Amino acid sequence: MAQKDKDFITVLHAPVDGEAKALNIKNTLKMMQTLVGGLIEPVPLRLSKAEWKAWSATAKRLGVPHIKNPILIVNEEGLLHQLPQNPHFPFCVGNVFLMEDKDLK
């Protein structure tokens, strides 16, 4: 039996200005584009064992559910538009959010 798509998902929103926090959002392309301020691009996130342990503690503190296969959703044209570096994910520019890969429709 196929899993029913979730209408709402919890993500870790990491804006350029402000603290990272858990958000319960509508699972739509439009909402995702709103969070990053443009076209979206999913980026797989690969973590070491130590990084997973640290991530689990951070996720629990921020109220984000356990994410088995995390992906970052970034602004596809962030570099082109010279968006500022993200302080929460320094290898990214602009606003980003972290979500479970299976929740991406």
**Tokens 């606003």 found at:** 95
Cβ neighbour number for residue 68 with a 10 Å cutoff: 8
The Cβ of residue 15 has, within 10 Å, a number of other Cβ atoms equal to: 18
pTM for the structure as a whole: 0.83
Measure the CA dihedral 36/10/51/61, to 10°: 110
Please report, as a single letter, which amino acid is at residue 20.
Answer: A
Percentage of residues in the chain with pLDDT exceeding 90? 58
77 compared with 101, residue with greater pLDDT = 77
Report the distance separating Cα 8 and Cα 100, nearest Å: 12
| CA 93 – CA 1 distance, rounded (Å) | 39
- Write the single-letter amino acid at 8: F
Q: How many CB atoms lie within 10 A of CB 88?
A: 18
Instruction: Give tens-digit pLDDT for 29-71.
Output: 999 999 999 999 999 887 788 887 777 777 777 777 777 778 8
C-alpha distances in Å from residue 92, one per residue of 20, 43, 49, 68, 89: 14, 10, 22, 21, 6
